[in-house]
Structure 1
Amino acid sequence: MLPWWMKWLLFICSRDGGRTMKTDRTDDRAAPHAVIDCDIHHDTGMGRIKPYLPRAYRELTDAYGNAVPGGDPRDGVADVQTLRQAYLDERPLACGILTGTNYGVQAAPNYEYAVELCRAINTYTVDHWLGEDARLKGSIIIPKQQPVYAAKEIDRMAPHPGMVQVLVSNGAFMPYGNRFYDPIYEACERHGLPLTIHAGMEGVGINNPMTGVGYVTTRAEWIFSRTQVMMAHVASMIFEGVFERFPTLRVVLQEAGVFWIVPYLWRLDQDWRGLRVQTPWVKRFPSEYFREHFRITTQTVELPNNANLQDELLRQIDAERTLMFASNYPYGDEAAQAAIWSNERDSLKRQVMGNTAAELYGI
């Protein structure tokens, strides 16, 4: 049985006079109806990256294990061949963006060690993944706890044509609007790379608790708290003036929900009106900054029971402009994502499933 997104893609192709998506791996440009998956987790655990570490840190891991907060990450996809057989070749995928697994590096207090781990992850990704299949693109993992070194790692990796974004975890020790992070944003703008904030590492290591009242008890609470943290980053970046200082910066929000953004933007606009005197550098409505500078991925999307409400929420977030497909493979919930598109028009699907990401990432 064909997956849901292959069915509608074949339907679109049939309406377009039989035109089909490019599948030649030597040409990774996405056709107008090609699918781009913005979140595929390949395994970047210590077992993969250890050979890329300096000798001193290899000996450290021999003695103490991974030596980063959160322990060893859950396994992602082991290798390119496995990914091809289980996912890439089974779907009309023009491009998949690799997002790794080892985010604990961004919660480590030893930033010298974090620098070397990030270098190892990025070099491993280039050597073992990006050169093996032209459909695959990479994310630059950075030691965000030391922005000067993070910018140097961006400068080192950005010239590789397969690297299409910079990735940081949602968990952080201060909101992302703080000027502390400006060297990272300067480097992103310098190389024309978007910044992706990926859910994870909330309340881990040097990162702040995942809620304003402290740590939670269950995994369910932790997952739901991710939205709170993402909200804080969005407000911080807008009201601290990040997009006035860096007018071409684009930010992707991954795995912290989608439709919460609608009432949240209402509230930001409402409060901005009354508090403008405190933030004179914020020259436009927060919702305007959001629609220009932020993109959202479909995993994990909330599912309204009312189809009309779903349509209105998609309209409110300007989904044709801001929403991008992400499977979270191999962990995602494909059935949940299928439900959100069951009644949607083809033009919106094309934008969400590929065109918006193609524009953002220059694919």
Structure 2
Amino acid sequence: METTQIKGSESKSKLKRSIIDTDIHGRAPREGMLKYMPRIYREQIATFGWRLPAQGGMFLNGGTNGSMQDVNIPEDSQNEDTYLDYLRKNHLDTYNIEYGILTGGGYEVHAAVDTDFAAAVCSAHNDYYLERYLSRESRLKGSILIPKQDPILSAKEIDRVGSNPDMIQVVVSNGAQKPYGHRFYHPIYEACVRHNLPFTIHVSMEGIGINNPTTGAGHVTSYIEYRAARAHIMAAHMASFIFEGVFEKFPTLRVVMMEAGMLWIAPLIWRLDQDWKALRHQTPWVKEPPSEYYRKFFRITSQPLELPPTTDMIKPMMNAIHCETNLMFASDFPHWDFDSPTHAFPKLEENMWDRIFYQNAAELYGLPQRKASKGVALA
């Protein structure tokens, strides 16, 4: 992972072949979202504030406001294009990004008590991104933020903006009140299927607000513990999807697991397969080994990329989780643990590189092939 702005030698190794970055965080300043909110909530905010829990207040993240160390991200409340211009210059152009998927921010709505207020914030967030980013930069695509606490309001929001071609997935936080395989969430998946949108789980808000504690043993103290626990929560969501039979009811639904790493999935699906063989009579609707459900219905993103201690372990682990079809590159720009497109991965075979850095995401999200594909760029 990269912890500082990319300069020097990396700028000379600019990618010749364009890529898709599946996790870029834009800025949606709260003052900028106000104009998209109903008057009643603008007045409430003016009087009482935003009434949203904050993840950043509980743990010390890796950089100021979570951004890269030694990098000053411009913030100009009088000019909303300041950050967009910064994003173009320091990321889209630098790394020859054909498409960048904005995964938003504002996940604190997923831990809020007032679901009507959360729904209004989600709508304002989506409208802000559509107007301030997606309509102004053709390389960017967006994610629909939903108030997942209320599946009916969530489905309504998906139906409201899901037909917009620039919105290519639905996004929720990893922190939750119930595992995502629970039938409580079915109205959300029905809406995702109606609009052919993947359902994406992005790490955040674990143990915050109304969400369940970070671990089964309770809350943790330090950010490094909090960070480690995210994969465990994501694993619980994966098992829930499989054993609750979600994909039998919604066979065209695809689930993306974002920013929780990837190699931990190998021992998880091995164990799930073994347990399923012994306990399959308890879930007769699970018709195939769990590893097959993972292969068919889940997609994962690479950041933060965890690497084994020796290089000879990398290839078999990547093969075990079907990286050639299931893994998509993500940088997490501009956060402190940003993974560089040119430095994060070990050297890959050309076909594997192309699948991870472009084709898998293009197929999942229905994005066009490269406008220009000559040249070879291997990480």
Give the TM-score normalised by structure 1. Answer: 0.89
- CA distance in structure 2 between the aligned counterparts of 1:298 and 1:8, rounded to whole angstroms: 20
**Displacement after TM superposition at 1:64 (Å):** 2.6
Alpha-carbon displacement from aligned partner over 1:268-316 (angstroms, at most 9, x marks no partner):
0000001111000000000000011111111012111211101110111
1:351 aligns with 2:358: no
- CA distance in structure 2 between the aligned counterparts of 1:260 and 1:331, rounded to whole angstroms: 22
Q: Name the amino acid aligned to 2:262.
A: V
**Displacement after TM superposition at 1:153 (Å):** 0.4
Alpha-carbon displacement from aligned partner over 1:210-239 (angstroms, at most 9, x marks no partner):
100111111111111101110110000000
Question: Tell me, what secondary structure is at the counterpart of 2:278?
Answer: helix
**Displacement after TM superposition at 1:359 (Å):** 0.4
Question: Tell me, what secondary structure is at the counterpart of 1:205?
Answer: coil
**Displacement after TM superposition at 1:51 (Å):** 1.5
Moved more, 337-346 or 88-97: 337-346
Aligned-residue CA RMSD (Å): 1.9
- Cα 1:356–1:285 change in 2 (3 A) is same
Q: Is the 8 A contact 2:168 2:365 kept in 1?
A: yes
Question: Which consecutive segments of 4 or more residues in structure 1 shift more than 6 A?
Answer: none
Aligned match for 2:331, one of 327, 342, 347: 327
Q: Is the 8 A contact 1:43 1:75 kept in 2?
A: no
Q: Is the 8 A contact 1:168 1:196 kept in 2?
A: yes
**Displacement after TM superposition at 1:98 (Å):** 0.5
Question: Tell me, what secondary structure is at the counterpart of 1:87?
Answer: helix
Q: Is the 8 A contact 2:305 2:339 kept in 1?
A: no
Q: Name the amino acid aligned to 1:89.
A: D
Aligned match for 1:253, one of 257, 279, 297: 257
**Displacement after TM superposition at 1:72 (Å):** 7.9
**2:10 match:** 3
- CA distance in structure 1 between the aligned counterparts of 2:9 and 2:352, rounded to whole angstroms: 21
How do 1:128-139 residues align onto structure 2 when only pairs under 5 Å count?
A: 128-139=132-143
- CA distance in structure 2 between the aligned counterparts of 1:322 and 1:328, rounded to whole angstroms: 18
1:266 aligns with 2:270: yes
**1:50 match:** 34
**1:199 match:** 203
**2:18 match:** 34
**1:18 match:** none
Alpha-carbon displacement from aligned partner over 1:4-45 (angstroms, at most 9, x marks no partner):
8x84843xxxxxxxxxxxxxxxxxxxxxx5300001101124
Q: Is the 8 A contact 1:72 1:102 kept in 2?
A: no
How do 1:92-171 residues align onto structure 2 when only pairs under 5 Å count?
A: 92-171=96-175
- CA distance in structure 1 between the aligned counterparts of 2:146 and 2:230, rounded to whole angstroms: 20
**2:79 match:** none
**1:23 match:** none
Question: Tell me, what secondary structure is at the counterpart of 1:104?
Answer: helix
- CA distance in structure 1 between the aligned counterparts of 2:136 and 2:255, rounded to whole angstroms: 28
- Cα 1:345–1:181 change in 2 (3 A) is same
Q: Name the amino acid aligned to 1:262.
A: A
Question: Tell me, what secondary structure is at the counterpart of 1:175?
Answer: coil
- CA distance in structure 2 between the aligned counterparts of 1:53 and 1:207, rounded to whole angstroms: 25
**1:64 match:** 48
Q: Name the amino acid aligned to 2:41.
A: Y
1:83 aligns with 2:87: yes
- Cα 1:8–1:53 change in 2 (3 A) is closer
- CA distance in structure 2 between the aligned counterparts of 1:245 and 1:315, rounded to whole angstroms: 29
The share of aligned pairs that are identical, in percent, is 47
- CA distance in structure 1 between the aligned counterparts of 2:152 and 2:339, rounded to whole angstroms: 42
Give the structure with the higher percent helix: 1
* Structure 1 segments unaligned to the other structure (5+ residues): 11-32
Moved more, 48-57 or 113-122: 48-57
- CA distance in structure 2 between the aligned counterparts of 1:206 and 1:228, rounded to whole angstroms: 19
* Structure 2 segments unaligned to the other structure (5+ residues): 1-7, 58-64, 68-72, 76-82, 368-379
Moved more, 70-79 or 91-100: 70-79
Question: Tell me, what secondary structure is at the counterpart of 1:252?
Answer: strand
- Cα 1:260–1:309 change in 2 (3 A) is same
Q: Name the amino acid aligned to 1:46.
A: R
- CA distance in structure 1 between the aligned counterparts of 2:94 and 2:339, rounded to whole angstroms: 16
Q: Name the amino acid aligned to 2:293.
A: Y
